[in-house]
């Protein structure tokens, strides 16, 4: 392991853009399919990996929704999240904000109670076993209509103490944030945090809509903001945190290769970028590998990596005390 790899390994990490269903490793998928008496989504682990070649966001989403079909019971969601936390602990993740897609489960007849029970139980276990703090952010599926998002939000309000905010994900093209103006008005009125995927495949104008119409506090991806100078200046001035997912962008052909990724240019333009894994099982890289691959391709310095980690701490939805604890840990690590 090189010196910089060792530095990245011990960096205390904060992950702000992670779909828990996107951490579903094929081994566990096949195991859960069998115990639930369901057909396996893929004939073998190798076949799953072979299938994970994507042309764009939609070709990935098709397999992502197929894989999660085997999750039925609370214990399935618990096992899914426990596997993620074990992997996150190996990467020295200290805090993770987990996205999940309520509609992708309730539309298949899975009780939202089971989803919350399983995920919350794993989150408590991760806090006890690893000292990892975490929170839950349900995302509305933007390819569905707003009334479906409204029903999903109603159902989530029955678990209001378990959620920290709401987000927007799934197929971006043709589904602008403005389609969800009314549901996010309710999310704001209920006092939750707001994030939104914007500017992944969709245009920079979707980032502007997410800020102005939804009231997004963070932008998930946001790489296409680089097409709009005025937007870059605005995001920099208001210090909006962008949860960038470099390996996801390569695998979904948002960028041709890691060497072309705008992450470093975004930081140089004053944007508060962070490095995240998005759907690590499907893209073959958890947060640590995302950092290593970015460092190598873009010649990131230790200072760059520390600054990006500090952006993640600042942009997280934890209280000031936890932010200070993590900031202190980061300062200790960066002095060595």
Q: What's the closest the beta carbon of residue 15 comes to ligand ADE, in angstroms?
A: 14
Positions of E strands within 153-305: 165-169, 193-198, 218-221, 241-244, 272-275
Q: Which residue is nearest to ligand ADE (CB)?
A: 169
Q: What's the closest the beta carbon of residue 279 comes to Zn ion, in angstroms?
A: 7
The residues in 55-84 that bind ligand ADE, with binding defined as CB under 6 A, are 57, 64
Q: What's the closest the beta carbon of residue 289 comes to ligand ADE, in angstroms?
A: 17
In the residue annotation, 172 being an active-site residue is answered as: no
Nearer to ligand ADE, 7 or 282 (CB): 282
3-state secondary structure of 39: coil
Tell me whether strands 13-19 and 241-244 are parallel, antiparallel or unpaired.
Answer: unpaired
Whole-Å CA distances, 54 to 5, 21, 141? 28, 17, 20
The side-by-side arrangement of strands in the sheet containing 193-198 is 13-19, 93-100, 133-141, 165-169, 193-198, 218-221, 241-244, 272-275
Binding of residue 197 to ligand ADE (CB under 6 A): yes
Q: What's the closest the beta carbon of residue 59 comes to ligand ADE, in angstroms?
A: 12
Positions of E strands within the chain: 13-19, 93-100, 133-141, 165-169, 193-198, 218-221, 241-244, 272-275
> Which residues, listed in sequence order, are joined to residue 243 by a DSSP beta bridge?
220, 274
**Residue carrying structure tokens 């085997």:** 70
Q: How far apart are CA 27 and CA 218, in angstroms?
A: 33
- Position among 278, 285, 288, 311 found at the interface with Zn ion (CB under 5 A): 278
Nearer to Zn ion, 21 or 304 (CB): 21
Q: Show the tokens assigned to 210.
A: 């997410």
Q: How far apart are CA 206 and CA 224, in angstroms?
A: 9
Whole-Å CA distances, 165 to 135, 178, 222? 9, 18, 19
- Position among 15, 25, 117, 279 found at the interface with ligand ADE (CB under 6 A): 279
Q: Which residue is nearest to Zn ion (CB)?
A: 278
Nearer to ligand ADE, 57 or 70 (CB): 57
Binding of residue 304 to ligand ADE (CB under 6 A): no
Nearer to Zn ion, 97 or 278 (CB): 278
Q: Which of 25, 172, 200, 209 is catalytic?
A: 200
* Binding-residue pattern over the window 223 to 262 for ligand ADE, x denoting contact by CB under 6 A: -------------------------x--------------
Q: What's the closest the beta carbon of residue 322 comes to ligand ADE, in angstroms?
A: 26
The residues in 120-179 that bind ligand ADE, with binding defined as CB under 6 A, are 169-170
Q: How far apart are CA 216 and CA 196, in angstroms?
A: 6
Nearer to ligand ADE, 139 or 240 (CB): 139
- Position among 8, 16, 19, 42 found at the interface with ligand ADE (CB under 6 A): 19
Q: What's the closest the beta carbon of residue 230 comes to Zn ion, in angstroms?
A: 25
Nearer to ligand ADE, 11 or 163 (CB): 163
Q: How far apart are CA 303 and CA 245, in angstroms?
A: 19
Contact residues: ligand ADE, CB under 6 A: 19, 22, 57, 64, 169-170, 197, 200, 248, 278-279
Contact residues: Zn ion, CB under 5 A: 278
- Catalytic positions are 200
């Amino acid at each position: 392991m090189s010196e910089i790899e060792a530095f990245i390994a011990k960096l205390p990490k904060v992950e702000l853009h992670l779909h828990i269903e996107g951490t579903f490793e094929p081994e566990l998928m096949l195991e859960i399919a069998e115990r639930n008496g369901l057909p396996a989504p893929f004939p073998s682990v190798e076949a799953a990996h072979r299938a994970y070649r994507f042309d764009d966001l939609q070709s990935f989403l098709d397999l992502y929704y197929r894989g999660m079909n085997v999750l039925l019971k609370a214990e399935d969601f618990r096992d899914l999240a426990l596997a993620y936390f074990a992997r996150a602990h190996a990467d020295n993740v200290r805090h993770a904000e987990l996205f999940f897609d309520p509609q992708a489960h309730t539309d298949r007849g899975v009780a939202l109670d089971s989803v919350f029970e399983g995920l919350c139980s794993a989150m408590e276990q991760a806090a006890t076993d690893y000292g990892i703090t975490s929170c839950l952010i349900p995302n509305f599926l933007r390819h569905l209509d707003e009334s479906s998002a409204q029903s999903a939000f109603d159902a989530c309000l029955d678990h209001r103490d378990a959620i920290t905010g709401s987000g927007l994900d799934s197929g971006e093209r043709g589904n602008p944030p403005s389609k969800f103006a009314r549901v996010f008005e309710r999310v704001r009125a209920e006092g939750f945090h707001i994030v939104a995927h914007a500017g992944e495949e969709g245009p920079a104008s979707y980032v502007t809509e997410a800020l102005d119409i939804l009231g997004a506090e963070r932008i998930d991806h946001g790489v296409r903001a680089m097409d709009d100078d005025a937007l870059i200046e605005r995001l920099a001035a208001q210090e909006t945190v962008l949860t960038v997912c470099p390996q996801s962008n390569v695998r979904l052909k948002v960028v041709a290769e890691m060497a072309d990724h705008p992450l470093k240019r975004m930081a140089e333009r004053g944007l508060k970028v962070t490095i995240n894994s998005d759907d690590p099982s499907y893209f073959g890289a958890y947060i640590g590998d995302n950092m290593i691959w970015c460092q190598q391709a873009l010649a990131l310095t230790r200072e760059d990596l520390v600054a990006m980690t500090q952006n993640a701490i600042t942009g997280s939805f934890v209280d000031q005390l936890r932010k200070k604890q993590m900031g202190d840990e980061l300062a200790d690590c960066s002095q060595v």
